Amino acid sequence: MAKLTNALADFACAPLSTTLQTRIVTSLSMLDWIAVGCAGKDEPVSKIVRDMVLAEAGAGQAHLFGGGTAPLRATALVNGTISHALDYDDTHFAHIGHPSVAILPAALALAEAKDKPIVDLLEAALIGMELSIRVGLWLGRAHYQAGFHQTATSGAFGAAVACGRLLGLNPAQMRQVLGLTATRAAGQKSQFGTMGKPYNAGVAAANGLEAAQLITAGFQSNDQALEGTFGFGATHLGENDTDSALQGLGHDWLFELVSHKFHACCHGLHAALEAARELDIAEPEVAEIKVKTHPRWMTVCNQVNPTTGLGAKFSYRTVIAMQALGYDTALPESFTDQICQNPRLKSLADRITVEADNSLSETQAKLALLRRDGARLEAEHDLQTPLALADREDRVRAKAVKLIGRDEVDEIWSMLRTGGRAADLAAHLNG
């Protein structure tokens, strides 16, 4: 009956068989997650959640972004929230979720407390992130379109099995973990644009960690609660496509197709920014720019005349104009309220039009540039086109350097590639 649950539980406990590319992409996501978390440690939502946790009694077991230590569940909550505060973390478009911010906070906190080696941490994290994508595929677009935030819902299951693996659970216990998580996984898209969105990621990390700890302690749950009667799929508008979700599980690593953000704005804008990067647009030459994108992004990131830095992160016209004017869209501090009032930027933005194109996928965009000299240039980009591994590494590391500095990046990357203890890696979260 519980075909999905059984397969996922077996996968979570089985010996790992991966390629070098899979391991490097996992390490890059860990580096990227640490960098964006450190960069977001002083955001208002970060301070509120961290201060709440630090004010409570409890033995510090794991490091927090921005300083201090806290009990495990509280650490997962804080670090998940903070690492999603800038919305600059990785995205997987198979289910439209952010794997790292739900799974890594839970896995790293537990690995630190249990004094696990980094290799065990990365292995558990990969299992959790892959499983979150598979659960997301099982739930399908209907779940997401209904208003559920896949980062939070699917992510909670990934966090739970990552922690379960670190705790050495067997398949029967993993089925229990999945069942218990089914009654805790939650998160709504209605929180987008508020502090509630990053909080969703923190809650997912904390709930997953809690479920794994409870099952380890002998807690009993309904191990049919993911796909059974009144289960998570049935009550959360899941499409319940088990065969697609399980295809290639254990040897085809969908996580390899994770898309790292190289611009500090909504991921829906990135294909257009990458296409503009190929054209090397410079503002004085521009007579007109036309952007074509998938229709779903028209209501997500097509603010026409934003007045705030946050609004600018959801505006095709603004980000393309920023890039043409030489602003570094990789830096969060480039997105300010003041930039929206820049006369040159507003003038250029008025020459940019955005159109929906049903022939494009969610990861594609096309740009057409008409220059003042009459020349017409075109470019298109698909975020799902795999980057060469060396190019991906260069760009992720370059992004991290901008956020936390070269020395810190070199030290973290060395630890991820050569080994060490999770506790030493976690110490870098204090910034």
Convert the pLDDT of each residue in 222-231 to its tens digit.
999 999 999 9
| pLDDT at position 1 | 60
Looking at the structure, tell me whether residues 134 and 34 fall in a common domain. yes
User: Please, what's the largest Cα pairwise distance for the chain?
Assistant: 73
Looking at the structure, tell me whether residues 160 and 201 fall in a common domain.
Answer: yes
Q: Is it the case that residue 57 has pLDDT exceeding 70?
A: no
Average pLDDT over residues 175-185: 98
Question: How far, CA to CA in Å, does 123 sit from each of 98, 108, 116, 419?
Answer: 18, 11, 11, 12
The arithmetic mean of pLDDT across residues 302-327, rounded, is: 93
What CATH number has the domain bearing residue 119? Answer: 1.10.4100.10
Residues 126-151, mean pLDDT to the nearest whole number: 96
Strand 376-382 and strand 364-371: the pairing is: antiparallel
Q: 251 and 156: one domain? A: yes
Q: Are 239 and 143 in contact (CB under 8 A)?
A: yes
3-state SS string over 329-350?
Answer: CCCHHHCCCHHHHCHHHHHHHC
Question: For residue 326, is it left (φ>0), alpha (ψ between -120 and 50) or beta?
Answer: left
Q: How many CA atoms lie within 13 A of 254 on its CB side?
A: 25
How many percent of the chain have pLDDT more than 90? 90
pLDDT of residue 74: 96
Q: Are 98 and 201 in contact (CB under 8 A)?
A: yes
Q: Which residue has the tokens 């994770």?
A: 258
366-399 core/surface letters (b: 16 or more CB in 10 A; e: else): bbbbbbeeeeeeebbbebeeebeeeebbeebbeb
Q: Are residues 395 and 282 in the same domain?
A: no
pLDDT, residue 59, reads 78
Mean pLDDT of the chain: 95
Find all residues with CB under 8 Å of 418, minimum gap 6, and list them.
none
Provide CB contacts within 8 A for 235, sequence distance 6+: none
**Distance of alpha carbon 238 from alpha carbon 220, whole angstroms:** 25
The whole-number average pLDDT for the span 48-71 is 91
Same domain, 44 and 162: yes
Residues 80, 49 share a domain: yes
Asked if 161 and 7 count as a contact pair (C-beta separation under 8 A), the reply is no
Give the tens place of pLDDT for each residue, 105-121: 999 999 999 999 999 99
Whole-number pLDDT of residue 365: 98
Please tell me whether residues 204 and 238 are part of one structural domain. Answer: yes
Burial of 192 (0-12, 13-18, 19+ CB in 10 A): middle
In a shared domain, residues 196 and 243: yes
Q: Are 219 and 160 in contact (CB under 8 A)?
A: no
Is the pLDDT at 58 greater than 80? The verdict is no
pTM for the model stands at 0.93
| 357 and 399 within one domain | no
Phi, psi of 423 (to 5 degrees): -60, -40
228 with 186, same domain: the answer is yes
Beta bridge partners of residue 290, listed in sequence order: 353, 368
Whether residue 393 sits in one domain with residue 366: no
Same domain flag for 209 and 279? no
In which domain, by residue range, is 245 found? 3-259+389-430
Domains held by the chain: number: 2
CATH number for the domain harbouring residue 287: 3.30.1330.120
